[in-house]
Each structure stands twice: as C-alpha cells, then as structure tokens.
Structure 1
Amino acid sequence: MSGEGTGYDAAGIEVLEGREAVRKRPGMWVGSTGERGLHQMVFEVVGQAVNQVLAGGSGSVDVTLTPDGGVRVVDDGPGGPFQAAGDTGGLDLEALLTSFHAGPELSGRHITDVGQFRAGLFVVNALSSRLTAEVQCDEVRRVHEYARGVEVAPPAAVGPATGTGTTITFWPDSEIFETTLCSFAVLAERFRQVAFLNRGLGISLTDERPAGGARAVSFRFPEGVRDFVAALDAETGSGVQPDVIGFEREDPRMAGTMEVALLWTGSRQERIVGFANSRASREGGAHVDGFRDGVAAAVVAYARERGLPTADLDPHDDRICRSLTAVVSVKLDHPEFLGATRGLLGNSEVRDCVGEAVREHLGNWFEEEPERAAGFVGRIVRCIHQD
C-alpha cells in the first residue's frame, strides 16, 4: 500500500520527545488516565523513596494524602544533592526529575518494585500540575519547584537541615487524569505488602482529606514474610496462634535470594502467593513451582521413611500442597518475566534452587518436630487416599 493511496507520508508523522511525549500519551507511561494510573504515579515516587531508604540500610517512608489533592512522600534516607558533582554515584535528583536517562541506578535484587512497572520520577513530574522536591543533606535544606515538568526556579537553599532525607510533593494534573482522588485502601494494601517483603522497612500512610479528621496506618514487620503468612492466616479467623515455618537463603546459581514461609492450616484450601523483586507474580512461575516441588519431595520422602501408605502419593500431585498458606519471595539480579502483564516469573534456574532449599529446610524441620510432622504428613496421606 503506497503513501500516495492513503494520503499518508512522512509529513504526517508526529515526533514527540521528553515531557511532550509523556503528556500526549500518558497511558503509555502509567497504564491509564484513571485511578490505576493515578496510583502508579504514587507508586513511582514511593518506590524511589523505598529504594533510597533500603540502600542506606534501613529507615522509613511516610506518605500523606493532602486536603488539596496532593501527595507528599518523605523518606529518611541519605538524601543527595540536586546535581551530583562528578562521578560520585550519588543521587542526582534534578536529573531524575527532568530526564528519562538520569545515569546509573540501582538494579536487580537491590530494587523494590512498588508499582507494576518503572516509569521514573520524570514521568511523575511531567504529569503533575505542580511538583516540589526538597532534599536535606550536608546540613542544608534545598527546594526545587516544577509546573507540569518545567522548572519554576533553580534549586534554592531555604534553611538549615537537622537530618537527611528527601521529600517529594506532587499534585496529579487534572487536565490529564480522570480523577485525582487516590484510594486510601488500595495504597495501604500495597504499602503493607512492600513492608512485609522488606523486613524492617517502615511505611506509613496518612489521609488528611476526610472532613471528620485524618486517618492513618503504619507498617513495619520485623519477621518479614513470616509475619506475612501469619497475617494471611489471621484473615481466615482461626483465632489460633500460627506455627509458621520459614527460612531465607542466597543462591549464586540464581543470582539472588529467596525468603520463604509456610503454614499448614486446618482447611482444605491452598493459598500460595509469590513475589519477584517485591512485585506480585499473580500467575506464579518458577519460584512458586519450585516451592511446590520442594514441599512434595519432602512430604513423599518423609512418608516413605515412616512406612506410611504412599501408593497414591505422587510428587506431582497438587493435593500435597492443599491446606498450605505460603509466601515465596525471590529477589533476583536478572528477573525474567513472561507475558504482557509480567505476572509470571520465567527464570528456569530459580525453580531448581527454590525446590532444593524448600526440600532441605522442610526435611530438617520434619526431623526436629517429629510429632507435628507426623500429624501434617499423615493428614495429607489420608486426604489424598480418601479423594
């Protein structure tokens, strides 16, 4: 088909760059111009704050929904200059806010993905009617202001600083988004997950919008995914203190770490959730498959060693994991996600590594807790035999 026949030629191509490209096609960068895209904006800024805090060792991130429709994100990380001098490896906040390519950044297992994807602070700045960035470092507090991604004035020192950290306050642009009202419940649930998956990290969310007064939640979980599994079990209303089995391990074969926790419940329902670099893998993948492999191998080996009837006990039988509540979290240098939604982890080596670790740890637990092991495995064998 020729350009002459369609009336389409090179003159009809519109080339957009930088902030113009972002504002022209916002859905390409944050997913939508509805509530989902609005939340992605928040997750982008919170993700930057979380990674700064984690890079510094530990700390907290405080998020506030302000009465005038703004979102304020404060962290107590190391902070950094607006313009990093030379090759310092420090945070160049001005570059992050004004350019897609702001130089080297944290990657792999050291990155916590709070949102569905990583668009960056530049996208948030371009899609905000206003944005103010404040940095405290070197005992000085500096502020930089933008309007729809354009600098209002150069960074300015506004007073002394008593600590370190970064504050970013932004107002999503009502000319771009169908709504600028964030859901407290949606944000709180995601922040809770992130806190579970990053042991010791503190995250708080305060909503100053309600006329009847502010509401707030805060999360910090010293036991990480063990606390996550206990919380999932509490949602069933069993009222029983759970006996959570958990471990963590680094494995160079998969270039990453794993943190696993599990609990046998009295129900016949399975609840196994997986995360890769703190992102939910809703379709499962190699880490979840490896977990199932490891549990099945440990259960079958124990049953055979104890002389339990194993004729119906197939290591590939999904019923072995029935009544399990578990969280499988891996953090990888090179995660490989499959599918358009990136909800399926594809790293084949992860399956073998997680499976081996689960089989070994659960097998050791069976040896250390013979009475409870006999109860768990015996119930699994009976249930499969009765089906």
Structure 2
Amino acid sequence: MTESGNPSQPVNVNEYDASHIQVLEGLEAVRRRPGMYLGSTGERGLHQMVYQVVTYAIDEHLAGHADAIDVTITADGGIRVADNGRGLPVQAHDPTGKSAVERQLTELSFVPKPRTGYWVSGGINGLGLCGVNALSSRLTVEVHRDGHRWTQEYEKGIPISALTRHEESSGHGTAIVFLPDADIFETTLWSFATLSQRLQELTFLNGGLAISLTDERPERPVRHHHLDGLRAYVAHLNPYPPPSLVHSPAIGFTSENEEQTISVQVAMQWNTWSPGEFLSFANSTRTHEGGAHEVGFRTALTSVVNDYARRRQQISADDQDLTAEDIQEGLTAVVSVKLAHPVFEGSTRTRLGNPDADTYVQEVVRQHLADWLDHHPNEAAAIIRHIVNASTGRGKW
C-alpha cells in the first residue's frame, strides 16, 4: 500500500512505532480530554461538575445516611456542596498510606467495596469526585466524622496539603468546595436557574431528600423538598386548572424487588389540556433516549387499560383494542428506576439497556395500576372515557 497523496512513494512503517503512542494516566487523562468525561467544556459540562458532587451526596441518601444537601454558589464563582451523611472515610487502608478521602479524590478507579457503601449509585458513574478535582483550579474537602473535623486542599487534582485533623466535632458529613479551572472551561459562569431546575428534579426523584441552593452573588436562596416524590413531580408538570384534569391526585406507586437490586417509582395523571409528557430516569439520570424501563411501562400500560376497559364493558368485545397512542393522549407520566448495575447505551449513554428493567417495570405496573383502577372506579371510568374520546377523535370508532 502507498500513501494516497503520492502513489509512487512507499510508506515508511518505521516512522510510526510504539514511541508515538501516548498513554495518559489518572487525572492527567481527565485534564487533557475533559470532553470525554463531561461531554462538554461549555455551560453543560460546567454544570455537570456540580451534579457529580451532588450525586455522591445523593448516594449517601440512597444508603439511608443523609436527608439534606446544601449547594452554594460562592461569591468568588466557586461551588460548595455539603451533606449530612456519614462523611468520606478518613482512614488509610492501603500500602500507599493514602486516606480513603484522597483516593476518592485522585483515583478514577477507586470505588467502595460492594455492599459496604451503596447498593445503587446515582447517575451514570462517569466523572466522579476525582474528575471534579482534576478539572478544578482548587478544591477543598472538609469531613466531619470519627469525632473530629478533617480537611485537605488540592490544586488541579494534586494534593497541596495532607489530610489534617482539626478540633473535635460531633457532626457528620462532607463538604466539597471547588473552583472550576478557567483554562479548561469555555465559561465559568453558573446559571442559578439551570442548577435550581436540576436540583428540584433530583428532590422529586428522591423523595424525602431536601436540597437547598444559595447564590452569594447576590444571595438568592431556594429550598426544594418533596416528600410526595414523583406525584409532586407530575403535579409540577401538570399545572392545569382542575376542570382540565381527568382525575386528581396523580396515580403513584413504588416497588422494590426481593433482592434489592432494582426499585421502580411511577407517577401518572391524564389531562385534557396537553398532548401529554413522558419522562424516564435511571439512577436519577434522565434517559432521553428511553430504553428498557420505558418499553416495560408502555407495554404494561396498554395491556392493563385495555383489560380494565373490557372488564367494565366500556369497550365491547367487538371493538378494537385501544392503541398506545390513544392511551397516552394527555398522559403526563414519570418513571424512575434505580438499579445496582445499570447498563447505559445510545449515542449519549442515556438509553437504559437492562432487560430486567423491562420485566420488572411491567410486573409492577400490571399489579399496581390494575389495583388502583379497581379501587377507584369513578376515576377509572373517567380515564377510560377520556381515552375512548381520544380514539374517536382519530376516527377509529
């Protein structure tokens, strides 16, 4: 084979050998290729830094050890994320003598041992705390645990001080303060509205968790706390007057399998005002491209509604089945799954590929939605009438 630019000139294979291969290790790889870890070095990637730190705090909530997260946009343009969880471990357990705090902040491959930390972890498990550290011009971690306050400081992912024990403390939790590196990001200007919207979404997806957001640029505090979880989310997405709601409140149910490897939350409500909206999440990450959990929900929904409508003789034996399109007309629904081992696929890794998610979501929806319809006959009749009307409007009846 010859070079395409000069057919008569043979290729010198010795010009390309092992010395031309550059291997980037650890945090150096993150700093050299930040887009591979964040997806962007623009505004979207900048805000992803906050979500990565918040995800760690949410993991503490999922493990049953935290119920509050405070996020602050500091006056100098940094971010502070503090939680009331157990606090990052400060002990050193490996031959290097590094504390678990330092390993968590400097090693891409460092993760807690199975079943000792979290049975499920929020997000896609991409960047993590160490990646945020690598892409920050400076970062300070403060831990309250084991009866003391501990701190350590970093610059561009490199520790500039040892983990230091300070005064006694009866508190518990972790606070991370970081300043994004202006040499990495196209912008370091935070959007209060963008952060507030995502943090509110996370409280909907993790019922009982309170997240506050404070802006010191000027001060503009906001606190999100939704005990009703996804039903509150659907109410937020359906801000229509009562006459436009086919039923109220929203339908909601939650289930977890015996092995505690997958849990499902569903909330749904029909209205006559909008064409409907469907949102799905896996480990609190929006799955824009759908996936197995969406397939399971839509399959079970179509089956349950048709079965109920026929049993109640709202459609006859001679009528065609109500289609998925008919049933989803005016339906606002949110489906959230949490899995111990999520498999993300698609061009942006936002499609869930776990077959067990399809199976389990179908099982949960068939059981709980059928039960709700049977126990709410008036609301159920109104829902079926709405769906039949939608079908009639398409000229099918």
Same fold, TM exceeding 0.5? yes
Tell me the secondary structure at the aligned position of residue 304 of structure 1.
Answer: helix
- Whole-Å separation in 2 of the counterparts to 1:231 and 1:259: 16
1:351 aligns to what? 358
Tell me the secondary structure at the aligned position of residue 358 of structure 2.
Answer: helix
- Whole-Å separation in 2 of the counterparts to 1:340 and 1:315: 33
Structure 1, gaps ≥5 residues long: none
Within-5 A mapping of 1:212-251 = 214-234=219-239, 236=240, 242-251=248-257
Kindly provide the amino acid, as one letter, of the partner of residue 295 in structure 1.
Answer: L
- Whole-Å separation in 1 of the counterparts to 2:40 and 2:385: 50
- Whole-Å separation in 2 of the counterparts to 1:259 and 1:217: 26
Structure 1 residue 365: Cα displacement: 2.0
- Whole-Å separation in 2 of the counterparts to 1:273 and 1:248: 16
- Whole-Å separation in 1 of the counterparts to 2:156 and 2:11: 36
Structure 1 residue 237: Cα displacement: 5.8
- Whole-Å separation in 2 of the counterparts to 1:381 and 1:253: 40
- Whole-Å separation in 2 of the counterparts to 1:103 and 1:57: 18
Within-5 A mapping of 1:1-387 = 4=12, 7-85=15-93, 92-105=100-113, 110-113=120-123, 117-210=125-218, 214-234=219-239, 236=240, 242-252=248-258, 255-267=261-273, 269-310=275-316, 311-314=318-321, 316-387=323-394
Per mean C-alpha deviation after superposition, the further-off stretch among 42-51 and 61-70 is: 42-51
Structure 1 residue 356: Cα displacement: 3.0
Change (3 A) 1:379 1:23: closer
Change (3 A) 1:336 1:108: farther
Kindly provide the amino acid, as one letter, of the partner of residue 304 in structure 1.
Answer: R
- Whole-Å separation in 1 of the counterparts to 2:356 and 2:146: 44
Per mean C-alpha deviation after superposition, the further-off stretch among 70-79 and 119-128 is: 119-128
Structure 1 residue 382: Cα displacement: 2.9
Structure 1 residue 316: Cα displacement: 4.5
* Matched-pair contact (CA < 8 Å) for 2:293–2:357: yes
C-alpha deviations, 1:74-97, integer Å up to 9, x for none? 11111144334479xxx9211111
Length-normalised TM-score, structure 2: 0.87
Structure 1 residue 64: Cα displacement: 0.6
Structure 1 residue 57: Cα displacement: 3.3
- Whole-Å separation in 1 of the counterparts to 2:200 and 2:279: 15
Structure 1 residue 5: Cα displacement: 5.5
- Whole-Å separation in 2 of the counterparts to 1:274 and 1:15: 38
Change (3 A) 1:264 1:97: same
Aligned pairs, how many?
A: 378
* Matched-pair contact (CA < 8 Å) for 1:129–1:171: yes
* Matched-pair contact (CA < 8 Å) for 1:312–1:384: no
* Matched-pair contact (CA < 8 Å) for 1:293–1:315: no
- Whole-Å separation in 2 of the counterparts to 1:16 and 1:349: 36
Structure 2, gaps ≥5 residues long: 2-9
* Matched-pair contact (CA < 8 Å) for 1:265–1:324: yes
